[in-house]
Amino acid sequence: MMELTTKPVLRRALGLGPALTIIMLFMVIPVLVMAVYSFLEANPFGGVFWRFSSAGYTQFLFERDLADNLAFSPDYLIIIGRSLFLALVTTALCLVIGFPVAYFIVRQPPQNRNIWVFLITIPFWTNQLVRTFAWIIILGRNGTIELPFRWLGLLPDDQTLGLMYTDFAIVIGLTYAFIPIMVLPIYASLEKLDFRLVEASADLYGSTFESFRRVIIPLTKPGIVAGSILVFIPSIGAFIQPDLLGGGKKLMLGSLVQFQFATARSWPFGAAVAMILLCFVMLCLMWYARTARRAGTNSGMGGHV
Amino acid sequence: MSNSQKKNDFRPVGAVVGLGAWAFGFMLFLYLPIVILVLYSFNASKLVMVWSGFSLEWYAKVFDNADIRRAALNSLIVASSATVCATVLATLAALVLVRGGVFRGRGASMTIIALPLMVPEIVTAVALLIVFAGTGLSLGLGNVIIAHTTFCIPFAFLPIRARLEGMETTLEQASADLYGTELATFRYVTLPILMPGILAGAMLAFVISLDDFIITMMVSSAGGTTLPVYIYSMIRQGVTPEINAISTLLLIVSSVLVTLYWLVTRKQGAER
């Protein structure tokens, strides 16, 4: 115990040092280097030339035509737009499907709640690639969904419902992958909710709908925001789902980054796309921090009342 | 169903019609795709989607496939090494952050440890690719192990921290009162009580490492293919029930580990 008080600085350095060093060396610094790369000139054979260039970012808006002039091209803006749109739709779907489930779990007797939470988490911990592959079997040509149509003779052999390689398939895949992380935070904040407030609302002749709108949803807002962000961030940066279910043609930001590094060999542009992705993440986290702070002050006031 | 409905009578306010059906439907949505995937792994047909009878042929093919065996071995090496490294680092960090009192940089340290959870995987993947390519660091599987250790740290850290925060220091004080040296106290008192947390953290880290695909795909070199990367290349080549068989095996490993994790942490909760 003597030692503990005499050399706390050394102890802290020895204990924290290794973990922080690893994360700094192989996470923080690489991301900073990537930021630098996004301002360099591309080497067509992969890698970069160490010369400043803003081409990585102008490429989002302009394309060099045959005469070497810059011409406006909306292709990449469309990809950003599609990523935002698909991620938002996924988040909304997860929320609409997930909220009632979280509410259902919270209304179970306490000893049963854990098993529900457990059943919802298991798929989340299993391989995403495998779970996305399952949807290829379901949505694909001659897949599980098309099967009954074929049996009934409603779908000729040379035709398909065309479910695969669509935005719809991507959204289903994303929703399936990330919905557990929407349910869990909402469940956590519902569990803390004081149901006497709901009773009070009912006593004051509030309908169930009113109780939801004015009591339950405002008080569980931190959980809703946390869940939405946890779903939105991996959705907007997703690679597996747009690649396998979108057929690699419906690019999203995540698959665009991968494509630039693996196939197109345009590292600075890929780095620039990754930076934009990071900016979206940062905005989300700032929004979350603000909501969490507000919820904190609100509950503080509630304590006084 | 009616039984659970009855138990809910203590909380009649806020009841919503059809909630149970909704939750049941949700569970179907969650598990039906997995069930379908597993069922088709027993399909005798060469085409995944045409059922032509029960067969274990595809599992035999999986165990016969030398590439899969090598990928599985790589996955095992990477996941075990990363788990050991990440768990040791996370345990040390958690001891300082929970027991080390208040000091400058404590909040910042917590944020840094949580960083791998916040940065999108694809961004980490290409950032690491840039650094590994730029520095010429190529240790074969070593690169993959380094990458996995980094993103496994927060997953190992969270359960260990939770366990430490729920631990009383009375037993350690007793040990010190009985002239136990600091090392002995740590070895015979702190560590055994902390063990369930460490075990839980290690299991999460192992599952996360075993399932990782994007980062591994970007940083692994030829010959360093892990199971998920191999499965991806199989899917790209065309859908065969062999993928279902190997996927089923991977699903079983993850589910068993997560179930063990759940049992360990649940016992932990009951002790408190």
CATH code for the domain in which residue B228 is found: 1.10.3720.10
Does a structural domain hold residue A95?
A: yes
Q: Going by C-beta distance under 8 Å and a sequence separation of 6 or more, which residues neighbour residue B60?
A: none
* Better-predicted residue by pLDDT, A118 or A192: A118
Alpha-carbon distance values, A4 to A64, B86, B97 (Å):
64, 25, 14
Amino acid at site A160: T
Does a structural domain hold residue B50?
A: no
Q: Which two tokens mark A57?
A: 């970012």
Query: Which among B1, B16, B30 is the top mutation candidate for probing chain A, defined by the most A β-carbons within 10 Å of its own β-carbon?
Result: B30
Over residues A144-160, the mean pLDDT reads 81
Q: Using pLDDT thresholds of 50, 70 and 90, give the confidence band for residue A3.
A: very low
Q: Kindly state the percentage of chain B with pLDDT values over 90.
A: 52
Are B258 and A125 a contacting pair at CB < 8 A?
A: yes
The answer to whether residue A160 scores a pLDDT higher than 90 is: no
Q: Which residues of chain B neighbour A216 with C-beta distances below 8 Å? A: 14
How many Å lie between the alpha carbon of B233 and the closest alpha carbon of chain A?
A: 11
Domain extent, residue A273, equals 75-304
CA–CA separation, A135 and A224 (whole Å): 27
Query: Which among A121, A127, A286 is the top mutation candidate for probing chain B, defined by the most B β-carbons within 10 Å of its own β-carbon?
Result: A127
What backbone torsions phi and psi does residue A52 show, to the nearest 5 degrees?
Answer: -65, 140
Q: Is B82 helix (H, G, I), strand (E, B) or coil?
A: helix
Q: Which two tokens mark A49?
A: 């030339």
Least-confidence region, from A130-134, A190-194, B84-88: A190-194
Identify the pLDDT of residue B11: 47
Q: Which two tokens mark A249?
A: 């043609």
Does a structural domain hold residue B49?
A: no
Q: Say if residue B51 is exposed, middle or buried (CB neighbours under 10 Å; 0-12, 13-18, 19+).
A: middle
Q: Which residues of chain A neighbour B251 with C-beta distances below 8 Å? A: 126-127, 130
Are B122 and A107 a contacting pair at CB < 8 A?
A: no
Q: Which residues of chain A neighbour B113 with C-beta distances below 8 Å? A: 19-20, 23
Does a structural domain hold residue A251?
A: yes
How many Å lie between the alpha carbon of B86 and the closest alpha carbon of chain A?
A: 8
Q: By the CB < 8 Å criterion, does A237 face chain B?
A: yes
- Tell me what ipTM this predicted complex has: 0.86
CA–CA separation, A59 and A268 (whole Å): 10
Whether residue B266 is found in the same domain as residue B219? yes
Query: Which among A137, A142, A236 is the top mutation candidate for probing chain B, defined by the most B β-carbons within 10 Å of its own β-carbon?
Result: A137
Whether residue B28 is found in the same domain as residue B82? no
pLDDT in tens, A170-226: 999 999 999 999 999 999 889 888 778 877 877 787 777 777 788 888 888 888 998
pLDDT in tens, A24-45: 999 999 999 999 999 998 887 7
Residue B9 is given by DSSP the state G
Identify the pLDDT of residue B70: 93
Identify the pLDDT of residue A276: 93
pLDDT in tens, B2-56: 444 444 444 456 677 789 999 999 999 999 999 999 998 998 887 767 777 888 9
Does a structural domain hold residue B46?
A: no
Identify the pLDDT of residue B268: 60
The answer to whether residue A4 scores a pLDDT higher than 50 is: no
Are A33 and B134 a contacting pair at CB < 8 A?
A: yes
Does a structural domain hold residue A5?
A: no
Whether residue B97 is found in the same domain as residue B12? no
Identify the pLDDT of residue A302: 37
Amino acid at site A139: L
Q: Using pLDDT thresholds of 50, 70 and 90, give the confidence band for residue B169.
A: confident
Q: Going by C-beta distance under 8 Å and a sequence separation of 6 or more, which residues neighbour residue B102?
A: none
pLDDT in tens, A48-85: 888 888 888 888 888 776 677 777 878 888 999 999 99
Identify the pLDDT of residue B256: 93
The answer to whether residue A6 scores a pLDDT higher than 70 is: no
Domain extent, residue B25, equals 2-40
Identify the pLDDT of residue B270: 57
3-state secondary structure chain A: CHHHHHCHHHHHHHHHHHHHHHHHHHHHHHHHHHHHHCCEEECCCCCEEEEECCHHHHCCCEEECCCCCEEECCHHHHHHHHHHHHHHHHHHHHHHHHHHHHHHHHCCCHHHHHHHHHHHHHHHHCCHHHHHHHHHHHHCCCCCCHHHHHHCCCCCCCCCCCCCCCHHHHHHHHHHHHCHHHHHHHHHHHHHCCHHHHHHHHHCCCCHHHHHHHHHHHHCHHHHHHHHHHHHHHHHCCCHHHHHCCCCCCCCHHHHHHHHHHCCCCHHHHHHHHHHHHHHHHHHHHHHHHHHHHHHHHHHHHHHC
Identify the pLDDT of residue B180: 79
Whether residue B89 is found in the same domain as residue B14? no
Identify the pLDDT of residue A1: 42
How many Å lie between the alpha carbon of A69 and the closest alpha carbon of chain B?
A: 30
Identify the pLDDT of residue B269: 59
The answer to whether residue A252 scores a pLDDT higher than 60 is: yes
Whether residue B6 is found in the same domain as residue B108? no
Over residues B106-128, the mean pLDDT reads 92
Over residues B132-145, the mean pLDDT reads 88
Q: Is B54 helix (H, G, I), strand (E, B) or coil?
A: strand
The number of folded domains in chain A is: 1
The number of folded domains in chain B is: 2
Identify the pLDDT of residue A105: 93
Q: Say if residue B8 is exposed, middle or buried (CB neighbours under 10 Å; 0-12, 13-18, 19+).
A: middle
Identify the pLDDT of residue A296: 64
Whether residue B210 is found in the same domain as residue B238? yes
CA–CA separation, B235 and B58 (whole Å): 15
- Mean pLDDT rounded to a whole number for chain A: 85
Identify the pLDDT of residue B4: 44
Please state at what angle helix B106-118 crosses helix B66-99, rounded to 10 degrees. 160
* Better-predicted residue by pLDDT, A20 or B183: A20
CA–CA separation, A126 and B45 (whole Å): 26
CATH number at residue A269: 1.10.3720.10
What backbone torsions phi and psi does residue B244 show, to the nearest 5 degrees?
Answer: -60, -40
CA–CA separation, B263 and A42 (whole Å): 51
Q: By the CB < 8 Å criterion, does A284 face chain B?
A: no
The answer to whether residue B271 scores a pLDDT higher than 60 is: no
* Better-predicted residue by pLDDT, B196 or A8: B196
Whether residue B105 is found in the same domain as residue B206? yes
Whether residue B90 is found in the same domain as residue B130? yes
Q: By the CB < 8 Å criterion, does A47 face chain B?
A: yes
Q: Closest partner residue to B214 among A107, A179, A239, by Cβ?
A: A239
CA–CA separation, A194 and A218 (whole Å): 13
Q: Closest partner residue to A26 among B147, B207, B228, by Cβ?
A: B147
